[in-house]
Amino acid sequence: MYPGAELDMKEFRERIDRDFAIFDPASFLRRIDNDRELYSDLIRLVHRNLPEQFGFAKAAHAKNDMAELRLISHRIKGSADNVSALRVREAALGIEKEATAGRRNDLKSLLSILSEKIQEFRANVSEIPPSA
């Protein structure tokens, strides 16, 4: 279930936590041909950029700018997907879908979930790749 007219935030958060890992290092390493230096560089970049992008998303929400919020959440979703930050990706996707549909009611709660998932990713993912 993705956000929609009858969105239940508790269920949405539980689904993300149940169905998706915080991070899938094996998938990420496969995607970058096991390049361990690139792994470290990209994780460092995403660690640094996610909070900034989240700040932009909050600002777009505060301005009630759905087009900007959709674009920023799409960018966050893409960055998260590139490094296999699965829960961040799903939370950003939820925001993107709601902003695209112009549904504003649940965006504050979805932004809270995205913030939580970004913090979770940053706290649990090391810049050092796992041993082969």
Residue of 48, 44, 50, 22 whose CA lies nearest to 129: 44
Burial of 60 per CB tally in 10 Å (0-12, 13-18, 19+): buried
CA distance 68 to 71: 5
Side chain identity at 101, as an amino acid letter? A
- Distance linking the first and last C-alpha atoms of the chain: 35
Read off the pLDDT of residues 120-131 as tens digits, 9 standing for 90 and up.
999 999 877 777
What does pTM read for this prediction? 0.91
Residue 4 has pLDDT above 80, yes or no: no
Per-residue tokens: 113:
């979930």
76 close to 12: Cβ distance less than 8 angstroms: no
Read off the pLDDT of residues 64-85 as tens digits, 9 standing for 90 and up.
999 999 999 999 999 999 999 9
Read off the pLDDT of residues 27-56 as tens digits, 9 standing for 90 and up.
999 999 999 999 999 999 999 999 999 999
Angle 124-40-120 from CA coordinates, rounded to 5°: 15
Per-residue tokens: 77:
């979703």
Residues found in the chain: 132
Sequence ranges of the domains in the chain: 22-124
Fold of 22-124: Four Helix Bundle (Hemerythrin (Met), subunit A) (1.20.120)
CA distance 92 to 113: 9
